[in-house]
Structure 1
Amino acid sequence: MSLRKYESFFILDPDLPEDAHQSVGEKLRGVIESGGGTVVSYAPWGKKKLAYPVKKKSYGHYVLMEFASGPDLIAELERNMRLDERILKFITVKQDDEFHPEEAKEPEPETAPTQEAEAPETEEAGEEPEEAEGQA
């Protein structure tokens, strides 16, 4: 069985205490690891306002979890999310057909070149409106 890379984004009930947030994360990690997968990252984004009320809640705790697993594990993970009343909404998306463990250990070097690459684009974006003004 080859592992694929997935990303799950879910929103937790805002009224939960902090230890309940951690227990949800531990439960989902347990489901993934018992199914032969590995959790690459678990990033709580904090409490944010929802775009529309969900289960009569206006706020929620956003969490992004990246993991690698086989495709058959997704149904079990989503079943657990659906049955857990602490999770208001969730979505799971396949990021890549193959998972390479060495990629998971190198997020910092990938960030630095991206920031350097953005600087020239900003300068170019500043030049384009000047040309457009001259043409108009």
Structure 2
Amino acid sequence: MKYYEIVIMIHPDKSDKVKNFISNYDKFIVEKQGKIHRTEDWGRRQLAYPIKKLQKAHYILMNIELNSNYINDVRKKIQFDNFVIRHLIMCTIKNNVTPSIMMNVSKEQQDKKLSSVTNRSFAS
């Protein structure tokens, strides 16, 4: 069994169906005797450059453990999914279950937004 990190960019119009998308892939990986160690929904983010005439995409990160015989099945499933704009599958040396930098950054941004809103409401 090898460890893989998968980043998937989903069409922004399909953001409301992300939970179903994730559960579908979770089931598929478990059917292939794999394990899901971490799944993060990074949300909708601005793209650095347009992809298929889109300016935004919904990002998902998955860390899985899977037999190398089945990774091509996962790759094909992702490639032929109409929701997916782009994806990246990387083989990693060790399992990573700690929250990613993107999750830490988004929490900090939420805290800043919350503090700015509360500061404005008390300043009035």
Task: Return the match for 2:60 from 58, 63, 67.
Answer: 63
User: Counterpart amino acid of 1:7?
Assistant: E
Quick one: distance in 1 between partners of 2:70 and 2:47?
28
Quick one: distance in 1 between partners of 2:15 and 2:42?
15
Q: SS state of the match for residue 15, structure 1?
A: helix
Alignment of 1:1-136 (within 5 A): 3-18=1-16, 20-96=17-93, 104=97, 107=98
The percent identity for this pair of structures is 20
Quick one: distance in 2 between partners of 1:26 and 1:79?
17
User: Counterpart amino acid of 2:4?
Assistant: Y
Quick one: distance in 1 between partners of 2:15 and 2:47?
19
Q: Could you tell me which runs of 5 or more consecutive residues in structure 2 were left unpaired when the two chains were aligned.
A: 100-124
Q: Which residue of 1 aligns with 2:109?
A: none
- Deviation above 2 Å: which 4+ runs of structure 1? none
Aligned residues: 99
Quick one: distance in 2 between partners of 1:28 and 1:78?
11
| Structure 1 residue 17, shift from structure 2 partner | 4.2
Does the 8 Å contact 2:15/2:44 carry over to 1? Answer: no
Q: SS state of the match for residue 13, structure 2?
A: coil
TM-score, normalised with respect to structure 1: 0.67
User: Counterpart amino acid of 2:32?
Assistant: G
Q: Could you tell me which runs of 5 or more consecutive residues in structure 1 were left unpaired when the two chains were aligned.
A: 109-136
